[in-house]
Amino acid sequence: MFDLGVGYVLLVAKEMVVELGDGRALHVYDSGASGDGFVVFWHSGTPQSGILPGPLLELPQYQHIRWLSMDRPGYGASTPLPGRRVVSVAGDVAAVADALGVERFAVMGTSGGGPHALACAAMLPERVTAVVCVATLAPFGVDGLDWMAGMGEAGVAELAAAVQGRAALRTYVTTADPDLATVFTPTDLDALSEGPYGEWLATTVKRGMAGGLDGLIDDDLAFVAPWGFDPARITAPMLLVHGGEDRTVPSTHADWLANRCRTAELRLYPDDGHISILDHCAAALDWLAGRNGDDSGGK
């Protein structure tokens, strides 16, 4: 085990750099577990590095899972990619999987990682076996969804700045002092301070932001631009997990996706918010494991 110096000890994961054909580099995490070939590519939230989700890696029944992840462009040690769209992640994930000799894998994303998990499922149908999204956003500007309705004041302000463009968003994120109580419920705040995911979240956010604001800015801009794919095209089994009290990403986003994605199953937890919903990730992993066929993992 190793200590990242910010109060949370993580299970060992091999870290490496994958060079891409366009001259960029991605900082990649690989738990290295082999087991029965069950591979899960983790998509971290915003603004986070790709540090693997310690509380899930520690589950004794899933020690056989091989977890992969990466710092999205602009986060941690990954090269920024200004103007990236949500769909851009699919090519990066395919390149990482190829570099590591992994053919097929499941994807799991929380919060801002949810759209990126959906992109992989939509664009890599021959490789993605199943997808779990926890507290995910839906596409911006789509019919049938008032996208910012129900979001807390701080979230609305940040994403409204993103709609105005890069300069306005950079000004906002460098000068604002958001009130977290407007986007996190009391249950969320308790989970941050006392729950199993609190220290992990502090670690992954600190490491993700260590190199600056590029990752956060590019994520937000991608969320409010056309994503570059239609979630309705996803053919892999899909599980959507959401809290009914979520003020960061209202549950109407999950409702919209569930109503348009034919393979989707929605689990709505009425009393949970954006952070406390993470307590249901283990159950979501159970669902994912149930869809791990003999041919669904890496080589």
pLDDT digits (tens, 9 = 90+) for 91-145: 999 999 999 999 999 999 999 999 999 999 999 999 999 999 999 999 999 999 9
116 burial type by CB count under 10 A (0-12 exposed, 13-18 middle, 19+ buried): buried
What is the per-residue pLDDT for 12?
54
- Strand 128-134 with 66-70, pairing: unpaired
- Cα–chain-centroid distance for residue 142? 21
| Parts of the chain with a pLDDT under 50 | 1-11, 294-299
What is the per-residue pLDDT for 35?
62
Per-residue exposure over 179-208, b if at least 16 CB sit within 10 Å of its own CB, e if not: eeeebbbebbbebbeebbbbbbbebbbbbb
- Strand 238-243 with 264-269, pairing: parallel
How far apart CA 51 and CA 209 sit, in angstroms, is: 12
What is the per-residue pLDDT for 33?
67
What is the per-residue pLDDT for 7?
36
CA-based nearest residue to 133, from 39, 46, 240, 286: 240
What is the per-residue pLDDT for 9?
38
How far apart CA 102 and CA 100 sit, in angstroms, is: 6
Entry pTM: 0.93
What is the per-residue pLDDT for 3?
33
Phi and psi torsions of 64, nearest 5°: -80, -10
Helix or strand (DSSP H, E) at 281? helix 281-289
